[in-house]
Amino acid sequence: MLATDTSSSALAIQRDDTQREGGLLTSALRERAADQHYLKLSGLAKSFGSTRVFSEIDADIARGEFITLLGPSGCGKSTLLRAIAGLNNVDAGQIIVNGHDITHLPPQRRGIGMVFQHYALFPNMRVVDNVAFGLRMKKVQPEERERRVNEILRLVELTDHAQRFPHQLSGGQRQRVALARALVVEPQILLLDEPLSALDARIRRHLRDQIRDIQKSLGLTTLFVTHDQEEALLLSDRIFLMHQGRILQQGNAEALYTRPVDATAAGFMGHYNLIGRELAQPLLGYLSDGPRVALRPEALYLQPDSSLYGLQDSQVNFPTQALPSNSGPACPGVIRRHQLLGNIVRYEVDCQGLRLNIDVLNRSSRQLLPTHLRVQVYADLDEVQALADIPAASPTAKQAS
Amino acid sequence: MSLPAELPYRHGKPLLPSLMARLRLLNPYTLVVGSVFTLLALPLVATLFYALATRWGASLTPDGLTIKWFIELWATPRFLAAFGRSILIAVSALILSLILIVPVVFLAHTRYPRLDNLMNGLILLPFAVPPIVSSVGLLQLYAGGPLPIVGTPWILIPTYFTIVLPFMYRALANSLRALDVASLMEAAQLLGASPLKAFFLVVLPNIRIGIQIAVFLAFSFLAGEFVFANMLVGTRFETLQVYLNNIRGASGHFTSALVITLFVFTLLLTWLGNRQPATEGQPVDEADDTLSGTDLTAPIHNVTPDADSRGTR
Amino acid sequence: MMPPRLKRWITSPVMWLLPFAIIFGAFQIAPLVWVMISAFKTPDGWGLAHFHEIATSAFFRQAIGRSLEISFMSSVLGLAIAAVTCHSMHRCGPRLTRAMIAFTNMTSNFAGVPLAFAFIILMGANGMLTLMLERIGIIDDFNLYSRTGLIVIYTWFQIPLGILLLYPAFGTLQSEWREAASLLGAGRVAYWKHIGLPVLWPSLAGTLTVLFANAMGAYATVYALVNTSYNLMTIRIANLVSGDLFLQPELASALALVLVVILVIVTLIQQWLMRRSYHVTSR
């Protein structure tokens, strides 16, 4: 865990300074309004030649918010991040930070910190010099510089590695150096471009928590780019789901996960079963409003066919799953295969011409249902999402890779 | 995602795509590369023009164009003889080199890994010692004594072996390394082949392309060799380069035609060396080797620009 | 029938190394050793007489000085041009870059006598470029056979070699470093000062050493251009062993040894500088 007593840190002090000045009510109000619209993107668009990278990007981000840009590779999220940093220019639109238009400022003068996917540490400098670089560029006095570098290295738990060169560090340590280097200059906004994707799973989890803790303790407005929905769900205050250069849906984790706006969103979040409304009718017992229905795999319930249950081998000890209060009619199906996902078993079930993903809590290996077993499928009608969009590209709920 | 190289600090109003494209042509980087390209091409282009000019006095443009200088050159017996001698010497030196180097590089990559370290040090010698220095020693050692070969082509053949050694050794070592020859030999021997058979039936066909590249590169290198040829043998066995030097008094157009012929010949050899058979992928894995700066020996003939450094890592 | 011991010996792999060792020893190592030994051989035994002669003779001192000067100037110029070109090659289109690499490969083989002839045609007294520049009025009297002329032609053949050696090194510069630096407040100059040049430094130093050695040992080009009329180390060495006048092979050996020692010293300096800079293990 991270040391949380960062109240003494220079970064926290700076934040207090900006808040202290609100003596008058009006200015306090104005400030709160400014805090609500700390980072404002309006009408941002960018193309490379005839290829549109992103367009119609509008967003309002409050001070201290942790925003995740989530989307498949090539959706424009990284380019958008780089545009905010000033590493790419935009063709149209405005980027406003704290009331200042920074759209045409060079990156040096934007006051934005960034952490790159492949760390981008300067290989010729030791850890201390990497971290101190931004302060040197700002001509911060050596004593002050040393103090702040030490402080930030303590925050990312790298004090012992201060004299190492980047190539002497592990991937996770390198990324923490990169984080420290971006934080030490007290940026107005922190940008993280897939900072975890080059790391292995265990380090990734640890660093993910560390990033979140630091971000919270510093109250830093943060934009995080990832293609990993789990990361997005765990970290973000709000998620911007991007697809083909547009923000498809924005909202908090719960909203994105349980209420996808369309098939693409549903296809990317979770492993939704997307079903045409006619095909869904036997499961739901009624004809849905929208042209499609989205059902999460955990909103479907399985029960072995009672007529066959007695004939089964005694080792199949599948307990009857308690059905939700508002379940649809029983729908006969056959198990095609299963995937063990740790605490969850995902069954693929053929049911009335549909192939459904159904998640069941993995309580015991003796309760696994064999392939070819006939089952009854029930839908939790409270979790049915009618999608009111034009038919999207992906016909079934395939996993977004 | 591959983004076109963009000027990092250019921030301005969006431009029309066509204008952008035109600006890209004029960007400073393109200009620099284009200028250096031109700079390097200038002597060659000038010589080519001169070789094709009927007469060119103290004016900016030639009076007319002709290929008569080339025809004249190719009808000169002394030139043809020199050409023949150059090829003869180069081919002999290459055959000798292959016979001497292939067993060494092979053993260094199968039986004696430490031999490879030793060789990597030894092959720096021909680079570190300028030919003029070597020729001082060679002239004295082989002018008389038990082996009086100065003034004959016999001294050039083993001497040329020493100067192509770095190219050859590195090219062959690279292809053997890419092949993982040690495992290959083990596999062949497990299947019942004797070491010699395994070498000829398995290893040699697989490093054929490596040998081909090495041979052609070395050939073009030897075709341009002058110092040893002139110092050790001179006019007694006149090679192309020595011939060129000796006819300096002749018409400039004629010598220009000779220079162009030499250049085209070298070009042809390099092209033949780099030509890759369509069916076989040639592993060219030299990028790491050429990084050190002190290592001249691995010519980077197949360097492709790092198109997408983000994606490959 | 061969005795088994002899047979085993003949078929042993070491036998295959023997011809290589003999020829390499006789034609690479032996000449060098001979030079080292004979440099100290004087008419009355052994000693440093030849070195003393070189050190006291204004003529030889001039040759060494001019060799050093031309080599240094041309390798620094060549390195600078090659570095800027390599940097630009990584920033311009892939097609131009590929063409440039192919072309540098071609021109790196174009050296020696043909190069000298090409330069005479281009920049000799009646050379095309000379005439053109004189007409425009940029130069009034360019002499290819002078110090400046030699520096120009040496630089010309250093550029392709420099590009071939430096191009991969510039590939190791990651664009993210520049971006990260710019976000931390560094402009173009600060980036090159603190990151770009320090990272490239080992490659630049190594390439400079190679270029310098290349120029110090160059003989064919300058011989074809000025024969023996320009006083350089390689010209002097060659003249002492194959000139028309009296030959002094021992003195040639001594001068050759001086040349080798200069190259060794330069290499040692470079190694020493490299050791003081940071080292990156292969990524």
Binding partners of C (≥3 Cβ pairs within 8 A): A, B
Of A48, A90, A91, the CB nearest to B3: A48
Contact yes or no for B135/B151 (Cβ under 8 A): no
User: Can you give the pLDDT at residue A3?
Assistant: 42
Say whether the ipTM exceeds 0.85. yes
Confidence label for B143 from pLDDT (cuts 50, 70 and 90): confident
pLDDT in tens, C213-244: 999 999 999 998 888 788 999 999 999 988 66
Chain B residue numbers with beta carbons less than 8 Å from the beta carbon of A119 are none
CA distance B26 to chain A (A): 17
Q: Give mean pLDDT, residues A333-344.
A: 87
Question: C40 or A12: which carries more pLDDT confidence?
Answer: C40
CA distance A117 to A119: 6
Gap from A114 CA to chain C (nearest CA, Å): 7
Rounded Cα distance between C27 and A152, Å, is 63
pLDDT tens, B181-195? 888 888 888 888 887
On chain A, the residues whose CB falls within 8 A of the CB of C183 are: 85-87, 107-108, 110, 112-114, 182
Quote the Cα angle for C201-C164-B39, to 5°. Answer: 105
Q: Can you tell me the distance from the alpha carbon of C49 to that of C56, in angstroms, rounded to the nearest whole number?
A: 10
> What's the pLDDT at B57?
62
Whole-number percent of chain B with pLDDT over 90? 29
pLDDT for residue A201: 87
User: Is the CB of B14 less than 8 angstroms away from the CB of A92?
Assistant: yes
Q: What is the pLDDT of residues A355-388, one digit of tens each?
A: 888 888 887 766 778 888 888 888 888 888 887 6
Compute the distance between CA of residue A300 and CA of residue A383 in angstroms, rounded to an integer.
9
The beta-carbon neighbor of B10 closest among A49, A73, A89 is A89
Q: What residues in B contact A118, CB-CB < 8 Å? A: 310, 313
Q: How confident is the model at residue A178 (pLDDT cuts 50, 70, 90)?
A: very high
Predicted pLDDT at B128: 86
Q: Judged by CB atoms within 8 Å, which residues 169-208 of B form the interface with C?
A: none
CB–CB contact C180 A122 (8 Å): yes
Comparing CB atoms, the residue among C185, C198, C201 nearest residue A137 is: C185
Q: How far, in whole angstroms, is CA B58 from its chain's centroid?
A: 36
- Of residues C265 and A14, more confidence is placed in C265
Structure tokens at C170: 């510039």
- At residue B3, the pLDDT reads 39
Could you say which of C182, C199, C281 has the minimum Cβ distance to residue A108? C182
Q: Note the pLDDT tens digit of each residue in B106-116.
A: 889 888 888 98
Regarding predicted confidence, which is higher, A391 or A352? A352
Q: Which domains does chain A have, with CATH numbers?
A: 37-267 (3.40.50.300), 272-309+323-387 (2.40.50.100)
Q: For position A31, what pLDDT does the model report?
A: 66
Q: What is the mean pLDDT of residues B58-85?
A: 83
pLDDT value, residue A58:
92
Shortest Cα–Cα distance, B10 to chain A (Å): 8
Q: pLDDT of B149-170, one tens digit each?
A: 888 899 999 999 999 999 899 9
pLDDT above 70 covers what percent of chain B?
Answer: 77
Please tell me the distance from the alpha carbon of residue A298 to that of residue A341, in angstroms, as a whole number.
13
* Chain C (25-64) residues lying within 8 Å, Cβ to Cβ, of chain B: 26-35, 38
Closest CA in chain B for residue C208? B293
Q: Would you place residue B311 in the very low, low, confident or very high pLDDT band (cuts 50, 70, 90)?
A: very low
Q: Is the dihedral of CA C63, C64, C69, C75 positive or negative?
A: positive
Percent helix, strand, coil in chain B, to 5, is 70, 0, 30
Contacts of A124 in chain C (CB under 8 A): 195, 198-199, 201, 277-278, 280
Q: Please compute the mean of the pLDDT values over residues A56-70 and round it to a whole number.
A: 93
The per-residue pLDDT for range B263-293, each reduced to its tens digit, is 898 888 878 877 655 444 444 443 333 333 3
Is pLDDT at A97 greater than 50 in this prediction? yes
What is the reported pLDDT for B277?
Answer: 55
Give A-chain residues touching B4 at CB under 8 angstroms. 48
Q: Tell me the percentage of chain A whose pLDDT exceeds 70.
A: 84
DSSP of B188-232: HHHTT--HHHHIIIIIHHHTHHHHHHHHHHHHHHHHT--HHIIII
Of the candidates A379, A43, A76, A393, the one whose C-alpha atom is nearest the C-alpha of residue A227 is A76
Are the Cβ atoms of B133 and C206 closer than 8 angstroms? no
The pLDDT value recorded for residue C244 is 65
- Under 8 Å CB pairs connecting chains B and C tally to 294
pLDDT greater at residue A127 or residue A351: A127
Chains touching B by CB (3 or more pairs below 8 Å): A, C
A339-366 burial, b if ≥16 CB within 10 A, otherwise e?
Answer: eeeeeebbbbbebeebebbbbbebeeee
**Cβ separation of B14 and A91 shorter than 8 Å?**
yes
Q: Which of A49, A87, A117 sits opposite B8 (nearest CB)?
A: A87
Contact, A264 vs A393, CB < 8 A?
yes
Q: Residue B245: which of C207, C209, C224 has the nearest Cβ? A: C224
Residue B19: closest C-alpha in chain A: A49
Q: Provide the shortest C-alpha distance from residue B176 to chain C (in Å).
A: 18
3-state helix, strand, coil in chain C (%, to 5): 75, 0, 20
Rounded mean pLDDT, A321-344: 85
Q: Which residues numbered 263-282 in C keep a CB inside 8 Å of some CB on A?
A: 277-278, 280-281
Q: With contacts defined as CB-CB under 8 Å, which chain C residues touch A195? A: none
The size of the A-C interface in CB pairs under 8 A is: 76
Taken in order A50, A52, A57, A63, the sign of the CA dihedral is negative
Cβ contact B137–C165 (<8 Å): no
Q: How far apart are CA A331 and CA C135, in angstroms?
A: 95
Nearest CA-CA distance, residue B274 and chain C, Å: 10
Structure-model confidence comparison of residues C46 and B306, the more confident one: C46
Put simply, the chain C residues between 54 and 113 with a CB less than 8 A from any chain B CB are 81, 84-85, 87-94, 96-101, 103-107, 109-113
pLDDT above 90 (res A237): yes
Contact B12/A at CB under 8 A: yes
Which pLDDT value is given to residue C273? 82
Statement: residue A400 has pLDDT above 50: no
Higher per-residue confidence, A98 vs C245: A98
Higher pLDDT, A7 or B18: B18
Residue A29: pLDDT band with limits 50, 70, 90: low
Residues of C in contact with B10 (CB under 8 A): none
User: How does pLDDT run across A105-133, given as a tens digit for each residue?
Assistant: 999 989 899 999 999 999 999 999 999 99
C 209-248 residues with CB < 8 A to A: none
Please report which confidence band the pLDDT of residue B236 belongs to, taking 50, 70 and 90 as the band edges. confident
**pLDDT tens per residue, range A268-279:** 877 888 888 888
Q: What length does chain A have?
A: 401
The alpha carbon of residue B13 is apart from the nearest alpha carbon of chain C, in Å, by 21
Low-confidence winner among A55-59, A263-267, B44-48, B123-127 (lowest mean pLDDT): A263-267
Chain C, nearest residue to A179 by Cα = C180
Cβ-contact C115, C159 below 8 angstroms = no
Q: Which strands sit side by side in the sheet containing A221-226, from one edge to the other?
A: A112-115, A189-193, A221-226, A66-70, A238-243, A246-251
Interface of C with B in 142-201 (CB under 8 A): 156, 159-160, 163-169, 171-172, 174-175, 178-179, 182, 188
Nearest by CB to residue C17, choosing from B36, B103, B296, is B103
Question: Nearest chain A Cα to B312, which residue?
Answer: A118
Q: What whole-number distance in Å separates Cα of residue A325 and Cα of residue A322?
A: 9
User: How far, in Å, CA of C165 to CA of C83, rounded?
Assistant: 10
Torsion angle, CA of A292/A297/A298/A300, rounded to 10 degrees? 70
- Region A227-248: what's the mean pLDDT? 90
Terminal-residue alpha carbon distance, chain A:
31
Minimal-distance CA residue of chain A relative to C185? A108
- Which of A325-329, B55-59, C264-268 has the lowest average pLDDT? B55-59
Determine whether the interchain pair C165/B221 forms a contact, defined as Cβ–Cβ distance below 8 Å.
no
Closest residue of chain A to C198, computed from CA coordinates? A124
Are C182 and A86 within 8 A, CB to CB?
yes
C234 to chain B: closest CA residue: B132
- C-chain residues near A134 (CB < 8 A): 184-185
Give, as one character, the DSSP assignment of residue A51: E
Chain B residue nearest residue C210, CA to CA: B294
For A127, the token pair is 């850890």
C120-134 mean pLDDT = 83
Helix (H, G, I), strand (E, B) or coil at A361: strand
C147-161 average pLDDT score: 93
CB contact under 8 Å between A133 and C283, yes or no, is no
> Which residue type occupies C120?
I
pLDDT mean across residues, chain A:
83
| A108 CA: distance to closest CA in chain C (Å) | 4
- The B residues from 25 to 64 touching C (CB cutoff 8 Å) are 27-30, 32-34, 36-37, 39-44, 46-47, 49-50, 57-60
